[in-house]
């Protein structure tokens, strides 16, 4: 209530922050997106198609199902800052590896789109490969600890192959 956080520990501040975030996300999705963003998007699309500024075959005369396809949008709110980024990032990695969270979901918590991130990573990797650059953050070339990745053996021929 007072904003004095001097006597709190990691667990209590994180618990309070998670509850606050849940409430904010509820308002973001059920009020802002559902009651404001979606209607504005639908009106904008309709006007853009009718004015000829946007070509969307079947939008005006294709029926409700076709219109719904054009109106599908993934709303991604701005990401949240973490209380302890190292702990929370490790927990996120464990959740992804355990199959409890997708990379797309993890990326969206930062406020980004996974497809955009994947394209950026592919472009970065292609540029690094073209320039002969190897970074310790690239799992194609290095192990978790940053050391060069150990070569593997081809199961069919028993021949060593480069780490992929």
- Closest among 19, 33, 27, 36 to 76, alpha carbons compared: 33
Q: Is residue 13 part of a domain?
A: yes
Residue 128 covered by a domain: no
Count the neighbouring beta carbons within 10 Å of the beta carbon of residue 155. Answer: 8
Residue 41 domain-assigned (yes or no): yes
| pLDDT value of residue 102 | 97
- H-helix or E-strand spanning residue 24: helix 10-27
pLDDT of residue 123: 97
- The 10s digit of each residue's pLDDT in 79-90 is 888 778 898 899
For range 89-103, the mean pLDDT: 95
DSSP 148: B
Residue 92 lies in a domain: no
> CB–CB of 89/82 below 8 Å?
yes
Q: What is the mean pLDDT of the chain?
A: 85
Q: Is residue 85 part of a domain?
A: no
d(Cα 109, Cα 97) in Å, to the nearest integer? 17
Choice between 108 and 61, residue whose per-residue pLDDT is larger: 108
Per-residue pLDDT tens digits for 106-149? 999 888 999 999 999 999 999 999 999 988 888 888 777 667 77
What whole-number percentage of the chain has pLDDT above 70?
86
pLDDT reported for residue 137:
83
- Number of domains the chain contains: 1
From the list 26, 132, 148, the residue with the least C-alpha distance to 140 is 148
Distance separating alpha carbons of residues 54 and 75, to the nearest angstrom: 21
Strands, E, within the chain: which ranges? 152-153, 160-161
Assess contact for 163 and 149: CB atoms under 8 A.
yes
pLDDT of 19 > 70? The answer is yes
Residue 146 burial (CB count, 10 A): 10
Q: Quick one: pLDDT at residue 15?
A: 84
**Domain membership flag for residue 87:** no
Report whether pLDDT(152) > 50. Answer: no
Structure tokens belonging to residue 61: 């005369």
| Model pLDDT, residue 84 | 82
Q: Which residue has the tokens 């939008």?
A: 59
Q: Tokens 């070509």 appear where?
A: 55
Q: Kindly state whether residue 139 falls inside one of the protein's structural domains.
A: no
62 assigned to some structural domain:
yes
Range of the domain at 65: 8-75
């Amino acid at each position: 209530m007072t904003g004095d956080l001097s006597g709190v520990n990691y667990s209590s501040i994180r618990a309070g922050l998670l509850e606050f975030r849940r409430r904010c996300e509820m308002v973001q999705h059920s009020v802002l997106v559902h009651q404001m963003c979606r209607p504005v998007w639908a009106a904008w699309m309709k006007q853009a198609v009718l004015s000829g500024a946007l070509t969307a075959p079947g939008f005006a005369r294709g029926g409700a199902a076709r219109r719904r396809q054009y109106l599908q949008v993934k709303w991604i709110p701005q990401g949240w800052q973490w209380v302890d980024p190292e702990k929370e990032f490790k927990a996120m990695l464990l959740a992804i590896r355990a199959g409890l969270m997708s990379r797309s979901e993890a990326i969206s918590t930062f406020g980004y789109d996974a497809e955009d991130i994947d394209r950026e990573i592919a472009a970065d990797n292609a540029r690094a490969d073209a320039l002969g650059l190897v970074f310790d953050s690239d799992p194609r070339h290095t192990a978790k600890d940053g050391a060069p990745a150990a070569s593997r053996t081809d199961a069919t021929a028993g021949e060593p192959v480069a780490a992929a």
